[in-house]
Amino acid sequence: MDIRVVTLFPDMVAAGTGFGVCGRAIQRGLVRLGTVNPRDYTDDVHRTVDDRPYGGGPGMVLKAEPFQAAIAAARERVPAGSPVVFLTPQGRRFEQSVAKALAALPGLVLVAGRYEGFDERLIQAEADDEISLGDFVLSGGEVAAAAIVDAVVRLLPGALGDEQSAEQDSFSDGLLDCPHYTRPERLGELQVPEVLTAGNHEAIRRWRLQQALVRTSERRPDLLAKRELTAEEQDLLDEYLAAREAARDEEH
């Protein structure tokens, strides 16, 4: 896969993608990641990339021409037909299904902004898609670009170890993760749940699935609403909720 990020701060993108699973995938050539800096596509001595907003108001707006030229250069470095995706607070929410769709493409151009944002005509003229990480304020699109590259690259075949990718495809899809523990078995007063040290692998599998279901139902009911439960999953969730009701009645 070929990814180019159009950005005024290429070092931020490189720093956010250069380590761990993502950094290794780049090193091993599973993905070619590059940046194009709009400042290199200016034609004035000050290398101006922003200007004051028409209509007045605070802040600066990114000029269309340097970004348009940088996007054109980025398009030449990815396969024809690769989408140009702008990162803006107004975009559709990024989620795992979007990462999967992007990971299936041969190429991708991401465009990160700064200041108050892009001249709207640049988005009109160049954007195939517009993505946001969520309803919070970043200082620019670079951290969002790095997050998206990371989420996409780890989905590419060979980016993860075999065990990890196989594990990922199993039960946890669409649910929050179960709790994890490692040594020591007792941390102050806190014990590792007994089921995990008793060696019954079927019991462990059911406990983990139940924990994932309970956490999801308590913390992210929106995720459960989007997902069908198997008969086993429904039983495990019901069993826990019934046990909790019983414990409550005991208290009162």
Residue 10 lies near ligand 9D3 (rule: CB under 6 A):
no
- Least Å distance between CB 62 and ligand 9D3? 10
- Is 186 assigned a catalytic role? no
- Least Å distance between CB 63 and ligand 9D3? 15
Report the residue number, 60 or 156, with the smaller CB distance to ligand 9D3.
60
- Is 163 assigned a catalytic role? no
In the set 18, 34, 83, 140, which binds ligand 9D3 (CB under 6 A)? 140
Residue 138 lies near ligand 9D3 (rule: CB under 6 A):
yes
- Least Å distance between CB 74 and ligand 9D3? 17
Residue 132 lies near ligand 9D3 (rule: CB under 6 A):
yes
* Contacts (CB under 6 A) with ligand 9D3, residues 34-93: 87-89
- Is 83 assigned a catalytic role? no
Rounded-to-integer distance, Cα 204 and Cα 210, Å:
10
| Tokens read off for 42 | 């200016």
Left (φ > 0), alpha (ψ -120 to 50) or beta: where does 158 sit? Answer: left
Considering the candidates 76, 116, 177, 218, report the single residue annotated as catalytic: 116
Report the residue number, 150 or 233, with the smaller CB distance to ligand 9D3.
150
- Least Å distance between CB 68 and ligand 9D3? 18
- Least Å distance between CB 144 and ligand 9D3? 4
- Is 77 assigned a catalytic role? no
Report the residue number, 85 or 236, with the smaller CB distance to ligand 9D3.
85
Catalytic residues: 89, 116, 154, 169
